[in-house]
Structure 1
Amino acid sequence: MTTNRRIVLARHPDGPATLEDLRLEEVPARPPEEGEVLCRTIWLSLDPYMRGRMSRAASYAAHVEIGQPIHGEAVCEVVESRHPGFAPGDIVAGAQAASQVFGWQSYPTVQGDKLRKLNPAMERYSHALGVLGMPGLTAYAAIKGIGQPKPGETVVIGAATGAVGMVAARVVRSMGARAVGIAGGPEKCREAVERFGYEVCLDRHEPDLIGRLKQACPNGVQVYLELTGGPVTDAVWPLLTTHARIPVVGLIAAYQSGSIADGPDRLPLLFRQILVKRLHIQGMIVWDWAFMEDDFHREVGGWLKDGSLQYREDVVEGLENAPAAFLGMLEGKNHGKLLVKVGQEPARDTTA
């Protein structure tokens, strides 16, 4: 009988998540029932939103129950199928809005109608979890659908070298706007400029981020892609111009806090700025932008092929190392799109 190794939630974190909140266990893989598929995981995606799923707080998606695998997207090989659309050997990923299908496990059994086949001719199957997957579409839709920068405008992107930021910078350049990044450390900032096409990138760890950002944005900030919250947002906020647009994708700086910090009520100041500057702030969940998926794949896929979009993956070997890698990501320790290589890719015919 095939053994399914999986990372499950041991307890709901009340404060910052720790390794003690997650548990590796082994259970028998469940044979597929009618309409289901048994899969072998090759690539597992680690993304910041998963921290919210570990919480009991109400959100846009259900939280993980104690003893259940952590939610997550994956690329898998079909091992056994009782669904007419899939056969052993097919390489699959979750359909749009199907991030709960696979989870952190080596042999998931899933509903076939929530899967999509991957083209064996694609350069890297892992791209389906990053640059050509949910993070890439998030970047594309946030900039084109909400930010809508005009030529010459300035777009500030926190987490500049993360899975979303790398693609967002290329989208900004395609629209004739300036991409200004903020990242953690000189190496990330250097790569942001030299490889990902930012005009400038500022190290959030260096002193006087507010002053340095003001120098980098002499005409203010017309679009701010909100990925981080915290000190980065504090630095950007005074520079927002009238009618600035703010797609709110994530708040990674707050994910480990467990609760809203005590302190003075800043809500009146926030709403005064929204009123006076007529700011456009819109929360963004990628599922709502599935209608842009065809354009996204055509345009971003084209940039990948012609080399005008550079992309970096940070790969961790072994499912057992996923918890530590995930917690490190929440502290900014990853360098690029974070993935876990759970199993080997099968040989494939790239001429198909």
Structure 2
Amino acid sequence: MTDIAPNTRVLLASRPHGEPTSDNFTIESGPIPTPGEGEVLLRTIYLSLDPYMRGRMSAAKSYAAPFEVGEPMQGGIVAEVVESRADSLRPGDVVLAYGGWQTYGVAVASHVRKLDPAQAPVSTALGVLGMPGFTAYAGLLEIGKPQPGETVVVAAAAGPVGSAVGQIARIKGARAVGIAGGAAKVAWLEELGFDVALDHRSPTFADDLKAAVPDGIDVYFENVGGHVWDAVLPRLNTYARVPVCGLVAHYNETEPPAGPDRSVRLMTSILTKGLTVRGFIQTEFVKTHQAAFQADAAGWLRDGSLRHREDVVEGLEHAPAALIGLLKGKNFGKLLVQVGPDPTR
């Protein structure tokens, strides 16, 4: 296979302390791997960047094993089959897979899913029709359980999870309030049909939220934590549901936040209001909700009731800087790295 260019890989060079920096990554070139029986050689087209990656750069115990120092970073990819040693796939097929931050990789054929470019752009398998969209769908409907006329508030609403949460809430007849950072993101949420869009960077944010939810909050989909959560907690109604998907405001912290212990305030609210606060990882719902999500989301995408936005960075070498920016809220929509040409476009 001498006609294939060298394999570029982005490795975790060291574990970050606080915010990741470029020093935590290294880029190297290596040989093209060779697929074994039942495997396929994949050329990466798109690489997904997601907030959970920060947690896996740490050695702290979590729901998934940490990335290994000296090994490639990992993530969801859309890739083209270059060589196949499996009957189910052939060269030229485009698949959804989980792999390294690298130009080429090998995967077990039964562990990837063939994509149909005629149904939707293949990049959507990493966003609105992929893990972020499914996270929104399962977390909101299984834990949030929004009812017609209720108020659903979602943080990081301009991201791939948050934007889907708000739109699905509207589809289900609820009132959607989105919280994002900056005027451009707020304007986009209004374009998507959110009933209210708020800028958490505004000095009047807490008062703005109070005015936006005169009847309180029935469902709060938590992606952020920090000062957004502080403003939301007093507005939660009795029996409000809080699906906890992420806490990106705290991912780079190296010590507990300054100030008094607020756990008593939280526990008092849980007790007196009968709140349901439920953390979740989307994988727990795959068996029960994946098929319904694929059918529903594909239909909503086709009829225009579910819209999405992609933020595409060109070049694998820019993945570290893009991930660092993601953790600071610099992305606008689903963040992807285009590693190589997309043959479907």
The TM-score, its normalising length taken from structure 1, stands at 0.94
Aligned-residue offset at 1:83: 2.3
Note if 1:234 corresponds to 2:230. yes
Note if 1:309 corresponds to 2:306. yes
Secondary structure of 1:58 counterpart = coil
Identity fraction in percent:
52
- Native 8 Å contact 1:154 1:180 kept in 2: yes
Secondary structure of 1:92 counterpart = strand
- Native 8 Å contact 1:53 1:71 kept in 2: no
Partner of 2:330: 333
Partner of 1:7: 10
Partner of 1:59: 62
Q: What amino acid is aligned across from residue 52 of structure 2 in structure 1?
A: Y
Note if 1:32 corresponds to 2:35. yes
- Native 8 Å contact 1:15 1:259 kept in 2: no
Separation in structure 2 between the aligned mates of residue 205 and residue 120 of structure 1, nearest angstrom: 39
Separation in structure 2 between the aligned mates of residue 322 and residue 339 of structure 1, nearest angstrom: 9
Separation in structure 1 between the aligned mates of residue 204 and residue 117 of structure 2, nearest angstrom: 48
Partner of 2:129: 132
Note if 1:159 corresponds to 2:162. no
Partner of 1:185: 182
Separation in structure 1 between the aligned mates of residue 109 and residue 62 of structure 2, nearest angstrom: 26
Q: What amino acid is aligned across from residue 47 of structure 1 in structure 2?
A: D
- Native 8 Å contact 2:117 2:344 kept in 1: no
Number of corresponding residues:
341
1:123-156 deviations in Å (ceiling 9; x for gaps): 3000000000000000111111110111111111
1:194-227 deviations in Å (ceiling 9; x for gaps): 2x21101111111121111000000111100000
Partner of 2:294: 297
Partner of 2:52: 49
Separation in structure 2 between the aligned mates of residue 36 and residue 273 of structure 1, nearest angstrom: 52
Secondary structure of 2:75 counterpart = coil
**Aligned counterpart for 2:171 among listed residues 150, 170, 174:** 174
Gaps of 5+ in 2: none
Note if 1:77 corresponds to 2:77. no
Separation in structure 2 between the aligned mates of residue 61 and residue 326 of structure 1, nearest angstrom: 19
Separation in structure 2 between the aligned mates of residue 68 and residue 197 of structure 1, nearest angstrom: 43
Partner of 1:150: 147
Separation in structure 2 between the aligned mates of residue 252 and residue 103 of structure 1, nearest angstrom: 23
Partner of 2:251: 255
1-10 or 242-251, larger mean C-alpha shift: 1-10
Note if 1:90 corresponds to 2:73. no
Separation in structure 2 between the aligned mates of residue 287 and residue 297 of structure 1, nearest angstrom: 15
Separation in structure 2 between the aligned mates of residue 345 and residue 211 of structure 1, nearest angstrom: 46
Partner of 1:202: 198
- Native 8 Å contact 2:83 2:91 kept in 1: yes
Counterparts of 1:249-288 in structure 2, within 5 Å, are 249-288=245-284
Secondary structure of 1:60 counterpart = coil
Gaps of 5+ in 1: 95-100
202-211 or 57-66, larger mean C-alpha shift: 202-211
Aligned-residue offset at 1:263: 3.6
118-127 or 332-341, larger mean C-alpha shift: 118-127
Partner of 1:113: 110
Q: Which runs of 4+ in 1 moved over 3 A?
A: none
Separation in structure 1 between the aligned mates of residue 165 and residue 89 of structure 2, nearest angstrom: 34
Secondary structure of 2:152 counterpart = strand
Separation in structure 2 between the aligned mates of residue 33 and residue 209 of structure 1, nearest angstrom: 56
Aligned-residue offset at 1:107: 0.2
Aligned-residue offset at 1:113: 2.1
- Distance of aligned partners of 1:250 and 1:347 in 2 relative to their CA distance in 1, 3 Å threshold: closer
Secondary structure of 1:245 counterpart = strand
Secondary structure of 1:166 counterpart = helix
- Native 8 Å contact 2:168 2:306 kept in 1: no
Separation in structure 1 between the aligned mates of residue 314 and residue 285 of structure 2, nearest angstrom: 32
Partner of 1:321: 318
Note if 1:213 corresponds to 2:216. no
Separation in structure 1 between the aligned mates of residue 267 and residue 306 of structure 2, nearest angstrom: 37
